[in-house]
Amino acid sequence: MRDPHPAVTAVIEHHHADVSGGWLRAATFGAMDGLVTNIALIAGVGGGGAGHRALLLTGAAGLVAGAISMGLGEYTSVRTQNEQVAAELSKELHELRVNPEGEAEELVAMWVARGLPVGLARQVADVLKDHPEQALRVHAQEELGVVPDELPSPWTAAGSSFVCFAVGALFPLLPYLLGLNNLWLALAIGGVGLFVAGALVGRFTDRPWWRGGLRQLVLGGLAAVATYGIGALIGVGVS
């Protein structure tokens, strides 16, 4: 016999991307920064008339220094944020222990403001009073906007940023590593890297890949034009 209510029994499976691990933002910033930084560095030094050795040294130094800086910066940033969240959670746990009624009323007020019936809001809040760990989780989500056991890892963020910066910075450096001394080829390869990175980000965010690629290509191109112009001016001035 055919089920008269297929919508009731059907299970719709869908998956969400991991938006809480901290790696995607760090990887995106790392790759983009690596590309733009080294493209701009090479364009600026090349615009000043530097030779193959100087360009190779500049690009390599930019890759290493930038990757280390990005990794340390991401680690410190995420670690500091997590420590701040931990301090706030400690305060919240203290309040839950010494003033459970007041904390329950806070939840009731927030839920009612969002349209939940008063009776139902109070019932749920009263149940949570007997479960401090779950109550802390709910208060953290409602008041701080975080999930205590899903905080981003500083090591994951640092590693993603370090590796992706290095990979991005490697693109415009490739011709010089292969023994070629062609600034425009290096910038073209960097431009391809920018487009690919922007397109990949577009795929992650369900936006048109070509739009993301073009956006990053234009932004990186503007940075390269600016630094090339400055390098050319300085090169003329000191020659």
- For 152-181, the pLDDT digits (tens) are 999 999 999 999 999 999 999 999 999 999
pLDDT at residue 220, as a whole number: 96
4 inside domain: no
**Dist. CA 216–CA 219, nearest whole Å:** 5
- Domain range holding 41? 24-45+52-238
7 inside domain: no
149 inside domain: yes
List, for the chain, all residue ranges whose pLDDT scores fall below the cut of 70.
1-22, 236-239
Give burial (CB, 10 Å; 0-12/13-18/19+) of 85: middle
Helix, strand, or coil (residue 103): helix
pLDDT at residue 238, as a whole number: 54
141 inside domain: yes
pLDDT at residue 156, as a whole number: 93
11 inside domain: no
Question: What token pair was written down for 124?
Answer: 């749920």
6 inside domain: no
Number of domains in the chain: 1
**Dist. CA 67–CA 34, nearest whole Å:** 8
151 inside domain: yes
pLDDT at residue 237, as a whole number: 55
**Side-chain half-sphere CA neighbours of 106 within 13 A:** 18
3 inside domain: no
Query: Closest Cα to residue 137, out of 98, 99, 102, 103?
Result: 103
Query: Closest Cα to residue 71, out of 106, 101, 26?
Result: 26
**Dist. CA 158–CA 178, nearest whole Å:** 29
